[in-house]
Structure 1
Amino acid sequence: MSDTALTGTTAPDPRGPGAAGSPPLLEVRGVTKAFGHGRRRLTALDGVDVRLMRGETLGLVGESGCGKSTLARVVLGLERPDSGTVRFDGTDPFALEGKELLAWRRRVQMVFQDPFASLNARMSAADLISEPWRTHRDIVPTAKDRERRVRELLSLVGLRESDAHRYPGEFSGGQRQRIGIARALALDPDLIVCDEPVSALDLSVQAQVLNVLSELRERLGVSYVFISHDLSVVRHVSDRVTVMYLGKVIEHGRTEDVFDRPLHPYTAALMSAAPTLDVSGQALGEEIPLRGEIPSPYAIPSGCRFRTRCWKSEARCAETAPPAVTREGAADTGADTGDRQHAALCHFPLLAGERGA
């Protein structure tokens, strides 16, 4: 790609040009969230934009402390943003109260990282899966219906109906995570936030759980926000990827574009450092070193916040915030997600043939 193929704009817009089809299920625009006061004020999210279409999986990646979990809590309605907007199916969830808020909470569920800690060891699988119906009584009103629905959900996630009366300690880690997935599905949600859902599992079990999530998306049309440090997992499950660094989205695009042709030096460094098996037959690139440690979120560097670790950094990186550069996504999976734009915040984006590009 030539230099002219990169276009500068004022901000990376995750909607992309000419977004088509149905409106997004989730749209986060300019969201900021800070904690603390005075000099000890930590900005966890700084003008974050995220867009998720129905039936889509958005991978959310970045090192610890980048703001992934805070963004997940905002999406789940557990943290109110200081500024910016959140729209879920066109509705602001933070404007809802009472029955309307309760009805909205049915539509957004979560699968946790630790499949054992997230399950009450004193409750059977049937009790764990049916627990949400104690609050949302109208979904499965009778005991007979609950028993039938529990069996259906167990079967849906690849467990036996007879497992309903077993307890978490009697299951393997992968089986426990399947119970967690079944519980998340109990309210027929539109969106499931998956926070490192396979990181505590063995590799072979990870593949099984990821296949379950993929099959459920195909069968039910559920959407996922998938948070993970494991880039190989993110590439496997995601339609699009958002890369975060110190509370800001620094790159966003379709998975194939971000992984195969990263624009931001930080993204390229993450990709190069990720352990991977060369199953494609392509040569693995040289690892790109990152200088130093992640800066303190209480003292974010001026200009480009990644400049203190970037091998391409120059004087202007410290003086001014980087502009957005966009590249039209080349990948075409045949799915209309309404988003083909590939964007990054960088003074010196990677070009074709450059190290990491």
Structure 2
Amino acid sequence: MNLRRLFAIVLKELRQMRRDRVTLAMIVGIPVMQLVLFGYAINLNLRGLDAGIADQANTAASRAVIMDMVATGVIAPTADVDTPQQLMEMLRRGEISVGVVVPPDFERRVSEGREAVQVLVDGSDTVVQSAAIQLAQLPLQGAANGGNGRPPQAGSGQIAVVAFYNPERRSAVNIVPGLIGVILTMTMVLFTGVAIVRERERGNMELLIATPVSRSELMVGKVLPYAAIGLVQTTVILLLGLWLFQVPVLGSVLHVYLAAVLLILANLTLGLLISTKAQSQFQAMQMTFFVFLPSILLSGFMFPFAGMPKAVQWLAEVLPLTHFLRLIRGVMLRGASLWELWPEVLALLAFTTVMMTLAILRFRKRLD
């Protein structure tokens, strides 16, 4: 082995990596991103779960119990309602994760040692369910004197946690719907991420330049075939989830597919934008991975969204997978409709519009 020739090859590779800005960014960016995400953004100790309060007793004692619950940091009240039915509707729409119900006869229940408070939990997320169970350990203090004339002792009442949508706490019920979004994000962005680059590398761009096809027609034509592939993937995941894990579809199957279409279009347009920026298929795959990593970590698929810092939550709101997970879990596990989850629908439509517009503006029918 000639060391001089070996050194020349090594030097050539280093210079090539220096000129490849995408690769250089990945070398530094990936370890920095993983360190920041896992060290700062990922938190399994949930705090500040959005909660609705139905205090039907509205006494000093009931308010004291609610204040004790809030003081734990597990819940953060976002809405005050009158009935448990309203809390159930908010749970179904995904507006809250926890609902606290204090019945009108709260003080009598405490004095008799009966169930005095109910905590309604969206059990579709097992991590949220586990965090809410901490509330059941609180002693009920500060209630008025019971019928025996003596103040009730701490813990003489009971706080019951009632989990909806996944009472068995099966992880597959939460994971399988999310896998639809994860798989569609990985495949759709990657497929279209290399679309324009592949045309350029194979020499097909010369043929496209000679045709009267417009930029918009080319972009939309690239998207539609992959949209059909995405629907096939959705069907496969749904069937396997039902067959292997008995994952229910409580809402409309049509709404499940409409939600999948929204994510497919959002990811395809993002892939097209990547394709107009990348200079090679390898670069396109690198950029796809750079998008996929934060999507899977910050969207709420692997780690609870409520446990992330507010700044990271704002960043996650930009990712289409975040909104799709809320849609698909709401429809499949809670029986909600897309119309009830309209903020997530609008977010995906806005993302698709922006990405497609940028991709069309960036694409030029020329070789340089």
Q: Which has the higher strand share?
A: 1
Instruction: Select the structure with the greater relative contact order (CA < 8 A; seq sep ≥ 6).
Output: 1
Give the structure-1-normalised TM-score.
0.24
Give the structure-2-normalised TM-score.
0.24
**Higher alpha-carbon Rg:** 2
Q: Which has the higher helix share?
A: 2
